[in-house]
Amino acid sequence: MRLIQYVMLLFVFCGRGHALPTMTNETPADPYIFTTDLLPLDPRFLPPLANGLLGWRVYGGIMHMGGVYNGEGGDCHRANLPCPLAVRMDLDEVEKAGRLQHSYSLDTHTGIFTHSLRTVSVIASQSLYTHRHHPNLLVMEVLLVRQGTSQEPITIKMDSRFTPQSDDIVFHSEPDYKGASYIQGHTTMAEVPGGICPSVHIIWTPITPSLTLLPDQAQSRWGFVVAVAGSQDSVQAHYDTALELMANGNLRPSHLRAWEELWAGSTLELTGPDNLSRALIGCMFYLLSAFPSLHEAPGHFGGVSPGGLSNGGSGQDYWGHVFWDQDTWMYPSIGLFYPQLARAVLEYRVRTVDGAKDNAEKQGYKGLKFPWESAVSGREVCPEDIYGQQEIHINGDVTLAFQHYLYLTEDMSMFTEGRGSEVIWGVADYWVSRVTWSAEEQNYHILGVMPPDEYYYNVNNSVYTNTVAKFSLEFAVELAALLKYPAPQEWQQVADKIKIPFDQKQKYHPEYDGYKKGQFVKQADTVMLGYPLGLPMTPEVRRNDLEFYEAVTDPGGPAMTWGMFAVGWLELGEVEKAGHLLQKCFKNIQGPFQVWSESSDGSGAVNFLTGMGGFLQAVLFGYTGFRVQKDCLAFAPSIPEDITQLCIRGVSYLGNKMDWLVRGQEVYIILREGAKHAGNTKPCALQVVLKNSGTKIPLIPGKPVTFPRESGMICKVDRALSCWPM
Ligand SMILES: *[C@@H]1O[C@H](CO)[C@@H](O)[C@H](O)[C@H]1NC(C)=O
Ligand SMILES: *[C@@H]1O[C@H](CO)[C@@H](O)[C@H](O)[C@H]1NC(C)=O
């Protein structure tokens, strides 16, 4: 009985995004569809549409392509490309007379933005999307459907802002290709002297200034595509694909299928406050949009910047550079669902190893120093030296992502052929050369750094930096043992004896040497020792860190902060406090399309994926208590009263995919049958082990299990057995 009920429950609750169980006969509004009659006044809050390769903002005149930057060093920024779809649909005056209604909606099930116009004589809709399966394509479709009985021709205007020019690229016209317009050019300034200036080729279906429904037509449909690529062969091939897909009616369906698949493998839904539901869906949608297609070898993935691909031109949204925001803030929520996309992030870092080596040398140290701000080469591209010089915790943030990947997948190939071990060992060498022995304190110090809290610089022993350094050294030793690599002794020595500042009297972690309790801080810093770093400490110390720092954290600071505090309070079982902190994040959500701004007053970077990543982690790791550990995925679910159910579908662990449901005092898990995994043969046999009772429950594909809501872990049935090809 229970099992059947449960299967039904999972099916109803998790089966399809919008099929939330409801007690009334009214159909609740689909939380995946963001609709408005009125566009936000600030165009920065129009919805960004991206697919990991191309990104633009609805109606915007410019778009960007992953990895295409213009400008040298600190000037390097995403190259603006003109977007032929910068077109707004309108009616001519005659049609406007007939009771006009507008509506704009972003359907996050499908990634399609639609503007609909309705009068007595016509329904017109303009749909825009960045293709999810074929990432080199952008699409616009227009549909006119005659209403009533009139036989008049009906004309709509297509007001275009497009000019085939850019400040970053000198475009040249090429002869039309199969009736489509074609321009190409390359950026004007390479990231490093003598470096490559990437080429961009754009082919697009010309868009006429108006479209007309003829007197004998009940309806008509038009399709326009834009293909963008790095060479003539490639752009023509992509345009050909688009024409072929259009001819056989598969352009939109292939896009829809790709989004459907993506959501099916990574769903986060709850029954609770609508605003929270919508916010979570928005965060997942924009974050998924920033990552590559599941169908592509992600060889050219250019990393994720704080504002994503839609933003980041010269002087904006951190120039489109890649920061720790990617590895620490966005990656964990994506990596929990898609090892393949997690690996794309790691591979991006591997491709920048030469630059990282150069950065370390320039600073006078050994090994690798990942840039505070990264573009393509891995050389430092931060416009201000101090961050690149001092905000060195980035190195440990990068290695932590590799470490979690290994624990979640046991995919050693990432570390061997994938060169991940070079990253880990290079960073370990850097730390060893970067520390100073303190004869007085008999431990290692890291002097002259800027902590994550950027209100301070030139400080000694930032507690976050030293802790992340310690953990990355320990991981280097662990990985070396796995790969039978002779680890230098210093790695372990430094890890063992690096200073982790601690105030014995007040039982808390000072942010750095000499930090006075009560000093103002910019953002989550020391509280991150608990999560994501997982530094062991007593609940008392954890509480003190949370309380002391919460009181002095700048309310105007960046959006990701409160999520980290929320995770901390959830660890301590303070569910209400956590909920209160999450409410603070709503101030950063701007307008109907759930676009985040970096600061709560709407300023700063937009489509602020970093903040979304922090918010998602508060739920994905906070409410579930998920912790990625060496031999297990630990959990400790705890949800507030106003959330009656929390459903997470597609959690990936050791080659398996699991669906989770936390409902009242119970937890349900089902292991999916036949989960496929890129490059790996068989998934590991898993079990649930409950903490208090020690109860072991095997997880058998397709067979749901349920247990009371308490802490435990998912681990291999036979821990000694490696299920993965080494
Ligand atoms: C979100 O919704 C809940 C419940 O309806 C409400 O109490 C809360 O104030 C809302 N939060 C914001 C920021 O609007
Ligand atoms: C950092 O340590 C160095 C070396 O011990 C010392 O000279 C310097 O004053 C310290 N800086 C701060 C801000 O305490």
**pLDDT at residue 20 greater than cutoff 80:** no
- Highest-pLDDT range among 5-19, 92-106, 323-337: 323-337
pLDDT given for residue 677 in this prediction: 52
At position 51, the amino acid (one-letter code) is: N
pLDDT given for residue 8 in this prediction: 42
Give me the DSSP letters along 277-299: HHHHHHHHHHHHHTS--TTS--T
Q: What is the 3-state secondary structure (H, E, C) of 123-136?
A: EEEEEEEECCCCCC
Q: Which residue has the tokens 């920048």?
A: 352
586 Cβ closer than 6 Å to some ligand 1 atom: yes
Query: What tokens were used for 364?
Result: 């006078």
Q: Best of 440, 446, 447, 513 to mutate for ligand 2, by most ligand atoms within 8 A of CB? A: 447
Distance CA 353, CA 44 (A): 34
Single out the residue of 299, 472, 332 nearest to residue 405, CA to CA. Answer: 332
pLDDT given for residue 675 in this prediction: 63
Q: Whose CA is nearest to atom 3 of ligand 1?
A: 273
Give me the DSSP letters along 28-65: PP-TTEEEESS--SSGGGSPEEE-SSEEEETT-SEEEE
335: DSSP letter: H
pLDDT given for residue 100 in this prediction: 84
Active site residue 260: no
pLDDT given for residue 683 in this prediction: 82
Which residues lie below 8 Å from residue 95, measured CB to CB, with a gap of 6+?
A: 119, 121, 122, 154, 155, 156
514 alpha carbon, closest ligand:
2
> For 535-555, what is each residue's pLDDT tens digit?
999 999 999 999 999 999 998
- Asked if the peptide bond before residue 532 counts as cis, ω within 30 degrees of 0, the response is yes
Give me the DSSP letters along 647-666: EEEEEEETTEEEEEEEETTE
427: DSSP letter: H
Mean pLDDT in residue range 467-489: 98
Q: Band of the pLDDT at 1, cuts 50, 70, 90? A: very low
Q: Is residue 576 helix, strand or coil?
A: helix
Q: Band of the pLDDT at 681, cuts 50, 70, 90? A: low
Which atom of ligand 1 lies closest to the CA of 642? 4
Query: What tokens were used for 317?
Result: 């949204």
For 187, phi and psi rounded to 5 degrees? -65, 160
458 alpha carbon, closest ligand:
2
447 Cβ closer than 6 Å to some ligand 2 atom: yes
Task: Give distance in angstroms: CA of 270 to centre of ligand 1.
Answer: 15
441 Cβ closer than 6 Å to some ligand 2 atom: no
> For 347-401, what is each residue's pLDDT tens digit?
999 999 999 999 999 999 999 999 999 999 999 999 999 999 999 999 999 999 9
Give how far Cα 208 sits from Cα of 89, 212, 246, 602, Å. Answer: 11, 10, 19, 36
Mean pLDDT in residue range 102-107: 96
**pLDDT at residue 214 greater than cutoff 80:** yes
Mean pLDDT in residue range 672-687: 71
Task: Give distance in angstroms: CA of 521 to centre of ligand 2.
Answer: 20
Q: How many Å is the Cα radius of gyration of the chain?
A: 26
By CB atoms closer than 10 A (0-12, 13-18, 19+), residue 454 is middle
Q: Best of 270, 271, 274, 275 to mutate for ligand 1, by most ligand atoms within 8 A of CB? A: 275
Q: Sign of torsion, CA 700 344 128 317?
A: positive
Q: Band of the pLDDT at 26, cuts 50, 70, 90? A: low
Q: Best of 460, 511, 515 to mutate for ligand 2, by most ligand atoms within 8 A of CB? A: 460
pTM of the model: 0.95
Task: Give distance in angstroms: CA of 560 to centre of ligand 1.
Answer: 19
> For 312-329, what is each residue's pLDDT tens digit?
999 999 999 999 999 999
Query: What tokens were used for 193?
Result: 């002297």
Task: Give distance in angstroms: CA of 274 to centre of ligand 1.
Answer: 8
pLDDT given for residue 607 in this prediction: 97
Which residues lie below 8 Å from residue 394, measured CB to CB, with a gap of 6+?
A: 323, 324, 327, 370, 371, 372
pLDDT given for residue 556 in this prediction: 84
Task: Give distance in angstroms: CA of 271 to centre of ligand 1.
Answer: 14
Which atom of ligand 1 lies closest to the CA of 275? 1
Q: Sign of torsion, CA 352 353 358 363?
A: positive
Q: Band of the pLDDT at 95, cuts 50, 70, 90? A: low
pLDDT given for residue 24 in this prediction: 42
> For residues 553 and 537, is the Cβ–Cβ distance under 8 A?
no
Quote the Cα angle for 484-487-493, to 5°. Answer: 140
Task: Return the H-helix or E-strand segment holding 6.
Answer: helix 2-9
Q: Band of the pLDDT at 300, cuts 50, 70, 90? A: confident
Q: Band of the pLDDT at 559, cuts 50, 70, 90? A: confident
Q: Whose CA is nearest to atom 4 of ligand 2?
A: 447
583 Cβ closer than 6 Å to some ligand 1 atom: yes
> For residues 196 and 188, is the Cβ–Cβ distance under 8 A?
no
The average confidence (pLDDT) of the chain is 93
Q: What is the 3-state secondary structure (H, E, C) of 207-261?
A: CCCEEEECCCCCEEEEEEEEEEECCHHHHHHHHHHHHHHHHCCCHHHHHHHHHHH
pLDDT given for residue 5 in this prediction: 40
Query: What tokens were used for 415?
Result: 């570390």
Query: What tokens were used for 182?
Result: 């074609």
Which residues lie below 8 Å from residue 177, measured CB to CB, with a gap of 6+?
A: 203, 236, 239
701 Cβ closer than 6 Å to some ligand 1 atom: no
438 Cβ closer than 6 Å to some ligand 2 atom: no
Which residues lie below 8 Å from residue 209, measured CB to CB, with a gap of 6+?
A: 157, 158, 159, 160
461 alpha carbon, closest ligand:
2
Spell out a b/e string for 690-716, using b for 16 or more CB atoms within 10 Å of the CB, else e. beeeeeebebebeebbbeeebebbbbb
Q: Whose CA is nearest to atom 3 of ligand 2?
A: 447
392: DSSP letter: T
> For 626-667, what is each residue's pLDDT tens digit?
999 999 999 999 999 999 999 999 999 999 999 999 999 999
Query: What tokens were used for 265?
Result: 């493998």
Mean pLDDT in residue range 235-245: 98
Q: Which of 454, 474, 478, 710 is catalytic?
A: 454
Q: Any alpha helices (H) in 248-377, and if so which ranges?
A: 251-264, 274-289, 324, 331-335, 339-351, 353-363
438 Cβ closer than 6 Å to some ligand 1 atom: no
Single out the residue of 367, 609, 329 nearest to residue 469, CA to CA. Answer: 367
At position 250, the amino acid (one-letter code) is: N
510 alpha carbon, closest ligand:
2
Distance of CA 336 to the CA centre of its chain: 11
**pLDDT at residue 534 greater than cutoff 60:** yes
Which atom of ligand 1 lies closest to the CA of 587? 13
Domains of the chain: 33-264 (2.70.98.40), 266-623 (1.50.10.10), 639-716 (no CATH)
For 606, phi and psi rounded to 5 degrees? -115, 165
Q: Band of the pLDDT at 265, cuts 50, 70, 90? A: very high
398: left (phi over 0), alpha (psi -120 to 50) or beta: alpha
Mean pLDDT in residue range 568-587: 94
E strand map for 43-198: 48-50, 54-57, 62-65, 69-70, 77-78, 81-82, 87-91, 101-107, 112-118, 122-130, 137-146, 154-160, 172-177, 180-186
